[in-house]
């Protein structure tokens, strides 16, 4: 039994005047219906391009895509553009970060939902409008019958994101990808939207991918988590694996960088030195080695040889030269005590 969504060694490269941009350079994961995958990474880690690649929206002149994307038994990388277009919006849908710029300013919210519905369902405008009102109601917009004729700019930020979700869900997709769905929202509204997404996922039993830089948001929703760095998947595992048994130094760095409300404040944060690499100039060997405090431990290998993504145990994948036992010892003895001391 193959998984509902199975991505194998996905690569998306863009040739530019400055060189080949390896936006996505080896991403592997799988996802079942009813489950949520969180993709975490900093800017330029390739997390957004990965999701666009799944939907076949990676466009741009001459993007090279390789690898395999299996959705419900169908391979998408080799499929025709027209076929993938037919799946978009129907079988897989997407929610974007900033609902103000992601909705067309000249059409009413209702029109945009109606359009999404009618692309894949041969129904009259009136029927589609009824459906749109129904969807707006289901995502918690008050007076949906009246608001259906409003324009996006007449909505508040939170309401717009709800409308965006209504649009994405209008054709009952089996895979929903949310790219930073709450980043543009205030924290109380973010909580509402996260609750809504959790409830709707249960109701629709869809597979959900949530892309974010916020480890808190990921922890709230995800069953599995994929950590990306420099276009590569560097760690993949269950939420428990990533938060309680992380094995990649970058993941440790992310956890140490983040001030947390659920713990006593530490004197200092433990940031990762340096900055994320530019995708044109990804460091050779392990992409993380210039920032890795443990790069010395594996000697020249860090600079010369790219580590492979290897399973440590029970579906927990890590891309690191250090031996699993060494990583676990470091986590238990050096990292965890510092992160968790009150």
Is 57 a binding residue for another protein by CB under 8 A? The answer is yes
Interface stretch with another protein, choices 18-26, 63-71, 105-113, 312-320 (CB under 8 A)? 105-113
Q: Hey, which residues between 200 and 219 contact another protein (CB under 8 A)? A: 213-219
Residue of 8, 34, 127, 192 that binds another protein (CB under 8 A): 192
For the bound state, the minimum distance from the C-beta of residue 269 to another protein, rounded and expressed in Å, comes to: 4
Q: Hey, which residues between 116 and 135 contact another protein (CB under 8 A)? A: 116, 119-120
Is 311 a binding residue for another protein by CB under 8 A? The answer is no
For the bound state, the minimum distance from the C-beta of residue 1 to another protein, rounded and expressed in Å, comes to: 26
The answer to whether 184 and 157 are in contact (CB under 8 A) is yes
For the bound state, the minimum distance from the C-beta of residue 94 to another protein, rounded and expressed in Å, comes to: 4
Specify the pairing of strand 5-16 against strand 175-179.
unpaired
For the bound state, the minimum distance from the C-beta of residue 73 to another protein, rounded and expressed in Å, comes to: 20
SS3 content of the chain, % helix, strand, coil (to 5): 40, 25, 40
- Coil, strand or helix at 314: coil
Interface stretch with another protein, choices 7-15, 53-61, 72-80, 318-326 (CB under 8 A)? 53-61
Specify the pairing of strand 74-75 against strand 64-71.
antiparallel
Buried b or exposed e, range 295-320, using 16+ CB within 10 angstroms: beebeebbeeebbebeebeeebbbbb
- Which lies closer to another protein via its Cβ, residue 9 or residue 332? 332
For the bound state, the minimum distance from the C-beta of residue 304 to another protein, rounded and expressed in Å, comes to: 25
Interface stretch with another protein, choices 15-23, 71-79, 255-263, 320-328 (CB under 8 A)? 255-263
Residue of 115, 134, 172, 326 that binds another protein (CB under 8 A): 115
Residue of 74, 195, 313, 332 that binds another protein (CB under 8 A): 195
Q: 């860090």: which residue's tokens?
A: 302
Is 314 a binding residue for another protein by CB under 8 A? The answer is no
Residue of 64, 74, 75, 104 that binds another protein (CB under 8 A): 104
Is 227 a binding residue for another protein by CB under 8 A? The answer is no
For the bound state, the minimum distance from the C-beta of residue 321 to another protein, rounded and expressed in Å, comes to: 20
Contacts of 119 (CB under 8 A, 6+ apart): 89, 90, 171
- Which lies closer to another protein via its Cβ, residue 269 or residue 323? 269
The answer to whether 197 and 218 are in contact (CB under 8 A) is no
Is 194 a binding residue for another protein by CB under 8 A? The answer is yes
The answer to whether 262 and 219 are in contact (CB under 8 A) is no
State the number of binding residues for another protein (CB under 8 A).
78
- The CA distance from 153 to 203, in Å, is 29
Is 68 a binding residue for another protein by CB under 8 A? The answer is no
- Which lies closer to another protein via its Cβ, residue 35 or residue 88? 88
Is 87 a binding residue for another protein by CB under 8 A? The answer is yes
In the shown chain, the binding pattern of residues 233 to 252 toward another protein, with x for contact by CB under 8 A and - for none, equals ------xx--xx--------
Q: Please give the backbone phi and psi of residue 84, each rounded to the nearest 5 degrees, phi first.
A: -65, -35
The answer to whether 62 and 14 are in contact (CB under 8 A) is yes
Q: What is the DSSP secondary-structure string of 133-197?
A: HHHHHHTT-SSHHHHTT--GGGS-HHHHHHHHHHHHHTT--SEEEEESTTTTS-HHHHHHHHHHH
Residue 253's closest CA among 285, 283, 295? 295
């Amino acid at each position: 039994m193959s998984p509902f969504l199975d991505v194998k060694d996905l690569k998306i490269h863009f040739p530019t005047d400055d060189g080949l941009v390896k936006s996505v350079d080896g991403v592997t994961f799988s996802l079942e219906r009813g489950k949520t995958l969180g993709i975490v990474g900093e800017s330029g880690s390739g997390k957004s391009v990965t999701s666009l690649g799944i939907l076949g929206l990676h466009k741009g002149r001459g993007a090279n895509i390789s690898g395999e994307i299996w959705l419900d038994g169908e391979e998408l990388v080799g499929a025709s553009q027209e076929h993938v277009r037919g799946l978009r919006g129907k079988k897989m849908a997407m929610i974007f970060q900033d609902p103000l710029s992601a909705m067309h300013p000249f059409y009413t919210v209702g029109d945009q939902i109606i359009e999404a519905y009618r692309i894949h369902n041969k129904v009259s405008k009136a029927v589609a409008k009824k459906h749109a009102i129904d969807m707006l109601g289901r995502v918690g917009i008050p007076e949906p019958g009246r608001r259906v004729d409003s324009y996006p700019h007449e909505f508040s930020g939170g309401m717009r994101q709800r409308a965006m979700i209504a649009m994405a869900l209008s054709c009952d997709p089996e895979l929903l990808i949310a790219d930073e769905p709450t980043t543009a929202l205030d924290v109380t509204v973010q909580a509402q939207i996260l609750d809504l997404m959790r409830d709707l996922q249960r109701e629709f039993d869809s597979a959900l991918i949530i892309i974010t830089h916020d480890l808190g948001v990921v922890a709230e929703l995800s069953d599995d988590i994929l950590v990306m760095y420099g276009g590569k998947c560097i760690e993949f595992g269950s939420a428990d694996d990533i938060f309680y048994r992380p094995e990649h130094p970058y993941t440790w760095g992310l956890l140490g960088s983040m001030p947390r409300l659920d713990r006593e404040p530490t004197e200092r944060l433990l940031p990762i030195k340096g900055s994320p690499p530019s995708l044109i100039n990804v460091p050779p060997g392990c992409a993380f080695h210039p920032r890795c405090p443990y790069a010395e431990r594996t000697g020249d290998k860090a600079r010369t040889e790219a580590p492979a993504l290897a399973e440590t145990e029970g579906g927990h994948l890590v891309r690191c030269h250090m031996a699993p036992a060494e990583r676990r010892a470091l986590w238990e003895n050096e990292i965890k005590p510092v992160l968790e001391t009150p």
